[in-house]
């Protein structure tokens, strides 16, 4: 049996503007997704996806004919996207159809699909490893995006990600804040469509001065040694991105009475936020109806 594993991801700085070359601080999460491959006596590919509750959420038998992946099932968007991914892999490695033929594949997710930690990127990275293709190229052919999530899938610690055109750089960084016991990730239960968010962002005008300002904040964020300064950096990042996106910061919209700083992560408006405060904020967020609150050390690898 072959086994592959990819870490989930969170983007702490540079969301959206990472697409325009900004330096972004990203962190792989402790939870990820694995892929197990075993041989069978079928002519096609038998695929099973299992969620974090050990429940099957997607199962299919994909036909492989004339070196291509096919399915007779219609009006199934998940299946259509999956077949599209497989054929994209095949375009990068024409031998993949032969590799996948007669295989049982099991994808096992360690976090809830709705959390936005990279159920798609970890899948892409695992399939790319199985097929021996470039995961960044496969991402471009399928879901798109900056590629920072692929970088996280393959790293064991925090990283700085920067994209320049079609190329990118990934640099490990020693970001391990001594005040991390004051940092929490809160799930807003409003999963955002990253592709739609990116499409909307691309209609905006971002200048090099704004990119440079994000880079300065990212560098200061990595080197920050105290909670007060860190909260100031969160507020500055939120203000800057708010001006770029023409969207009010999440704290102003929903948590104006919070005694601390709050930063949106990923696509603004949903998924997780990062909360920083001197006092334990869990009772505050529970009183607002948010029950998924993870301390920094429980989330980040």
Q: Are strands 103-109 and 45-50 parallel, antiparallel or unpaired?
A: parallel
For the cut 90, the answer to whether the pLDDT of residue 207 exceeds it is no
> Quick one: average pLDDT of 119-130?
97
Q: Which residues of 18-41 are buried (b: 16+ CB within 10 A; e: fewer)?
A: bbbbbbbbbbbbebbbbbbbeeee
> Quick one: average pLDDT of 106-135?
96
How far is 47 from 158, CA to CA, in rounded Å? Answer: 32
Per the rule left: phi > 0, alpha: psi between -120 and 50, beta: everything else, 219 is alpha
> Quick one: average pLDDT of 77-100?
95
For the cut 80, the answer to whether the pLDDT of residue 158 exceeds it is yes
Beta bridge partners of 159: 26, 172
> Quick one: average pLDDT of 267-293?
91
User: What does the pLDDT look like over 11-27, one tens digit per residue?
Assistant: 999 999 999 999 999 99
- What is the pTM (predicted TM-score) of this model? 0.93
The least confident of 145-154, 238-247, 261-270 is 261-270
Q: Could you tell me the pLDDT band of residue 247, with boundaries at 50, 70 and 90?
A: confident
Residue 191, pLDDT score: 65
Quote the mean pLDDT of the chain: 93
Q: Could you tell me the pLDDT band of residue 175, with boundaries at 50, 70 and 90?
A: very high
* Higher pLDDT pick, 193 / 40: 40
- What are the chain's domains? 2-171 (3.30.230.10), 176-299 (3.30.70.890)
Percent of the chain, pLDDT > 70?
A: 97
Residue 266, pLDDT score: 75
DSSP the chain: -EEEEEEEEEE-S-TTGGGGT--EEEEEEEEEEEEEEEE-S-SSEEEEEE-TTS-EEEEEEEEEETTEEE----S-HHHHHHHHHHHHHHHH-TTHHHHHTTEEEEEEESS-GGG-S-HHHHHHHHHHHHHT--HHHHHHHTT-S-SHHHHHHT-SS-EEEEEETTEEEEEE-----TTGGGEEEEE-S----HHHHHHHHTTS---HHHHHHHHHHHHHHHH--SHHHHHHHHHHHHHHHHHHHT---HHHHH-TT-SSEEEE-SSTTSSEEEEE-SS--HHHHHHTT---EEEHHHHB-
Q: Could you tell me the pLDDT band of residue 283, with boundaries at 50, 70 and 90?
A: very high
User: What does the pLDDT look like over 50-63, one tens digit per residue?
Assistant: 999 999 999 999 99
* Residues in Cβ contact with 199 at an 8 Å cutoff, skipping those fewer than 6 apart: none
Beta bridge partners of 272: 187
Residue 193, pLDDT score: 64
Residue 166, pLDDT score: 79
For the cut 80, the answer to whether the pLDDT of residue 46 exceeds it is yes
């Amino acid at each position: 049996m072959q086994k592959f594993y990819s870490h989930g991801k969170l983007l702490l700085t540079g969301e959206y503007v990472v697409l325009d070359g900004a330096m972004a601080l990203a962190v792989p999460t402790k939870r990820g997704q694995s892929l197990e491959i075993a041989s069978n006596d079928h002519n096609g590919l038998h695929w099973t996806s299992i969620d974090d509750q050990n429940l099957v959420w997607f199962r299919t038998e994909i036909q492989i004919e004339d070196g291509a992946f096919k399915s007779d099932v219609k009006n199934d968007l998940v299946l259509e996207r999956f077949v599209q991914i497989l054929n994209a892999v095949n375009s990068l490695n024409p031998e993949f159809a032969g590799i996948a033929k007669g295989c049982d594949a099991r994808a096992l997710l360690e976090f809830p699909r709705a959390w936005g930690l990279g159920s798609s990127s970890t899948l892409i990275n695992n399939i790319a490893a199985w097929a021996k293709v470039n995961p960044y190229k496969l991402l471009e052919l399928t879901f798109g995006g900056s590629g920072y999530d692929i970088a996280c899938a393959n790293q064991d610690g925090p990283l700085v990600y920067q994209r320049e055109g079609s190329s990118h750089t990934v640099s490990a960084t020693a970001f391990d804040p001594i005040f991390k016991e004051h940092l929490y990730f809160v799930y807003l239960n409003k999963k955002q469509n990253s592709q739609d968010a990116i499409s909307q962002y691309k209609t905006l005008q971002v200048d090099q001065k704004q990119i440079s300002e994000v880079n300065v904040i990212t560098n200061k964020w990595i080197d920050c040694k105290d909670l007060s300064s860190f909260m100031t950096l969160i507020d500055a990042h939120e203000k800057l991105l708010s001006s770029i996106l023409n969207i009010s910061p999440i704290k102003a919209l929903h948590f104006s009475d919070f005694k601390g700083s709050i930063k949106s992560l990923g696509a603004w408006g949903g998924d997780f936020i990062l909360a920083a405060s001197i006092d334990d904020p869990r009772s505050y967020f529970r009183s607002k109806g948010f029950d998924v609150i993870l301390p920094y050390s429980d989330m980040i690898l």
